[in-house]
Amino acid sequence: MPKLKTKSSIKKRFSRTGTGKIKFKASGKRHGMSKRSNKFVRNTKKSSIMSPGDSALIDHMLPYNK
């Protein structure tokens, strides 16, 4: 069986925790912070854990990151 390729765009945006869940950073923080509320800026600082249903879509694109 040949080696599987990892999707390059996925490996830049997502990573795994120690328990195997997928971690990601929130979007919308590149520019235009003056028009965003302080609550939005505060809440998008931290990274989040992806829900199991969404992580199943990304799981097969990261074959060796388990």
pLDDT digits (tens, 9 = 90+) for 19-40: 999 999 999 999 999 999 999 9
Sequence-distant (6+) residues with CB within 8 A of 24 are 13, 14, 15, 47, 48, 50
pLDDT of residue 51: 96
Domain spans of the chain, in order of start: 15-25+38-66
Tell me the C-alpha distance between 34 and 22, whole Å.
30
pTM (predicted TM-score):
0.78
Q: What is the CB neighbour count within 10 angstroms for residue 32?
A: 8
**What's the sign of the alpha-carbon dihedral 18, 20, 21, 26?**
positive
User: Which pLDDT belongs to residue 56?
Assistant: 92
